[in-house]
Amino acid sequence: MSKQHPPDKDLSVNIQTIQSESGTSNTAYYYLLPTGERIPLGTDRQEASKAASKLDQQFIGRYNQEAFPLKTPGSRKNPLLATVIDKFYTDRIAEKHRRGKISARTTEEKRYKLEEYKQTWINRDIQSIETLDLAEFLEGKTGHVQAKHGPLLRDLFRYAVNKGWIKHNPAAELETREPEDRRRRRHTLEGLMAVRAASPTWLQRAINVALYSLQRRTDLVEIDCRKQISKEKQTIEILQQKTRRYKRPVYIEISATGTLWQAISECLDSGVSCPYLIHYRPQRQRQSQLASKPHPCAVLPAYLSRQFTKYRDKSGAYDYIVNKAERPTFHDIRALGILLYFKAGYSIEYIMALAGHAKQATTDSYVKGHEKARPVTVHAGLDLAQISPGCIDWDDAGIPGAIQSLLNEKG
């Protein structure tokens, strides 16, 4: 149990203190965002005060409470954006799907985007959204992703104009980038299988786990079998490294069935005494190499990439790509796995949760008292037997934008 206290007059007005009632005298400090979310600042009062001062500067202007009151319920003439989005979805998107104008996948894809808008402009009313807001939202996205958002934003705000809530469409003048030409080529299923066949056993295992789990290289090499894998439940826990500093990091427990659990079992039964799932038995290592590794048999991310590249070229699978810099890498296995799940009929929600991009795959970075954060259960059930030969078409116009976004991610 813990007890909240009113703001300390000597601290930022945005600091909230929580006194532990578990027998200790610790006071936890949190920075309270205008959205109601909290950022943990630790238990040191002085350090918390310094961090809060920086956050005050960071968020000033970004959350102008006078311009955008957080608790406003909206009004008949100027409803909240979230309200407009819900009505737009019901009147336009869901209705088109009901009439057979758009597919279930397209409907699901648009719903994901609309939910993203609601989270981005939380508690904003429709009349407060300007072209600048939309341009800034699109700025960090690839041309492929922008091309999907542009038309939907224009349709959304055109709907608001037609309803009389706004006088002009702020998305009408938006310019989206042309989809970029991808320099590095994609994996083919046949190509990856050829690389795997030419690889040593430890690398074959790493390729299998990467393909079926959709996890990134940096997360795969960190998996500690003693802490993250349950043989009883056939699960694997992953706190994705890329998101660890986020307010809501991706912390998932993968229910590994079929081929993924088989791949994990092969790693566990390798005969090499190493706590890390991805490992190998080195012939010889320099002292400097040993010093940089958590275990003599552990595999570092850079080494995994180099070895994959070595056996990719040795296999001859991608010799038709003359420029070696354009040949697919270990990183690109994730994209192939995502496309395979999609082609096997798994839903966008299923794939995005496993890949760590869905809202359902995130966990709050703060918890009540001192409770440990719990992972969100996701599933990995792909079997290559579910894939029809020749179905892998990277240029398929029917690939939803949500999946396309995952396929084009850089990190």
Domain regions of the chain by residue span:
15-65, 81-163, 189-369
Say whether 282 sits in a helix, a strand or coil.
coil
- The number of residues making up the chain comes to 411
State how far the alpha carbon of 235 is from the alpha carbons of 184, 262, 277, 391, in Å.
33, 12, 13, 30
Output the pLDDT for position 363. Answer: 47
Cut 0.85: pTM above it: no
pLDDT band at 67 (very low <50, low <70, confident <90, very high): very low
CA distance 268 to 347: 30
pLDDT greater than 60 at residue 23: no
- Which pLDDT belongs to residue 366? 34
The tens digit of pLDDT for each residue in 317-354 reads 999 999 888 899 999 999 999 999 999 989 988 998 89
Q: Tell me, what's the pLDDT at 66?
A: 43
The rounded distance, in Å, linking the Cα atoms of 255 and 165 is 46
Q: Picking from 100-114, 191-205, 269-283, which range would have the lowest pLDDT averaged per residue?
A: 100-114
- Report, as an integer, the average pLDDT of 43-60: 72
Do 169 and 154 touch, CB atoms closer than 8 A?
yes
CATH class of 189-369: mainly alpha
Q: What is the pLDDT of residue 302?
A: 83
pLDDT, position 228: 95
- What rounded mean pLDDT belongs to the chain? 82
Position with higher pLDDT, 42 vs 303: 303
| Spatial distance between the Cα atoms of 150 and 128, rounded to a whole number of angstroms | 19
Closest residue by Cα to residue 170 from 138, 207, 126: 126
d(CA 355, CA 396): 21
Give how far Cα 228 sits from Cα of 225, 232, 237, 249, 337, Å: 5, 12, 5, 17, 22
Give the containing element (helix H, strand E) for 51. Answer: helix 45-59
- Of 236, 237, 234, nearest to 249 by C-alpha is 237
Among candidate residues 7, 56, 13, 51, the one with its CA nearest the CA of residue 27: 7
DSSP code for 238: E
pLDDT recorded at residue 45: 81
- Residue for token pair 């409803």: 79
pLDDT confidence bin for 253, thresholds 50/70/90: very high
Q: What is d(CA 110, CA 96) in angstroms, rounded to the nearest whole number?
A: 12
Closest CA to 93 of 118, 113, 121, 117: 113
pLDDT at 359: 58
Q: What was the pLDDT predicted at 28?
A: 77
Q: Among 28-37, 105-114, 187-196, 362-371, which is the least confidently predicted range?
A: 362-371
Q: What is the pLDDT of residue 409?
A: 78
Rounded to whole angstroms, how far apart are CA atoms 126 and 166? 7
> Which pLDDT does position 142 carry in this prediction?
76
Per-residue pLDDT for 274 more than 90?
A: yes
223 and 276 Cβ atoms separated by less than 8 Å = yes
pLDDT of residue 191: 96
DSSP 127-184: GG--HHHHHHHHHTS-HHHHHHHHHHHHHHHHHHHHTTS-SS-TTTT---PPPPPPSS
